[in-house]
Amino acid sequence: MPMSRCLPGCRCRLSKVLGHTERERAAREPPFFSPIDNRTVKPYEFSSMKIRSVRHRGLKRFIEDDDGRGIKPELINRARNVLAVLISAQDMDEVSGPPGWRIHKLTGDRAGTWSISVSGNWRITFDLDGAEIVNLDIEDYH
């Protein structure tokens, strides 16, 4: 006969030999909990900003396939962090990052376009249409 425990947490071996009854086994088993359903807990809804259009071909490939060939290697990690914050936020009020990101709206002929610094002269720029990001681009300012 193989040596095994009768129940999780039971210190005896071979319950048949020691004569555990069904009542003793039931007393040792954890209580049964029913699964949570929509009547018990309301489902959690999460809405975030969606990317509708991407202008930069390399950035589009990076977002869709996680392929960074079209982006400078030194920009990939910073761009990934910026995109993660943008996608997880519900609106621009929730977008925050380190001071080096310099999140701001542009003025002049590009008024209304948002800019987030990635590194040096490189910026991620985009427009907002409601809760959607449009014209997402990574560009060299100078």
**One domain for residues 69 and 22:** no
**One domain for residues 115 and 129:** yes
Look up the CATH number of the domain holding residue 106. 3.30.2310.20
* DSSP labels, 7-52: STT---B-HHHHT--HHHHHHHSPPP-PPP-TTTSPPP-----EE-
**One domain for residues 25 and 54:** no
Q: What pLDDT shows up at residue 25? A: 57
Q: What pLDDT shows up at residue 122? A: 95
Q: Domains in the chain: how many in total?
A: 2
Q: What pLDDT shows up at residue 90? A: 87
Q: What pLDDT shows up at residue 130? A: 86
**One domain for residues 79 and 113:** yes
Positive/negative CA dihedral, 66, 68, 74, 76: negative
Q: What pLDDT shows up at residue 93? A: 87
Residues of the chain with pLDDT under 50: 1-5, 13-18
**One domain for residues 23 and 90:** no
**One domain for residues 105 and 89:** yes
Quick count: other Cβ atoms within 10 Å of Cβ 10? Answer: 14
Domain hosting 130: range is 50-140
Distance CA(123)–CA(116), nearest Å, equals 6
**One domain for residues 76 and 6:** no
**One domain for residues 37 and 61:** no
Q: What pLDDT shows up at residue 73? A: 93
**One domain for residues 57 and 90:** yes
Q: Which residues are catalytic?
A: 142
Q: What pLDDT shows up at residue 15? A: 46
Q: What are phi and psi of 75, to 5 degrees?
A: -100, -15
**One domain for residues 39 and 89:** no
Q: What pLDDT shows up at residue 18? A: 47
**One domain for residues 38 and 62:** no
Entry pTM: 0.66
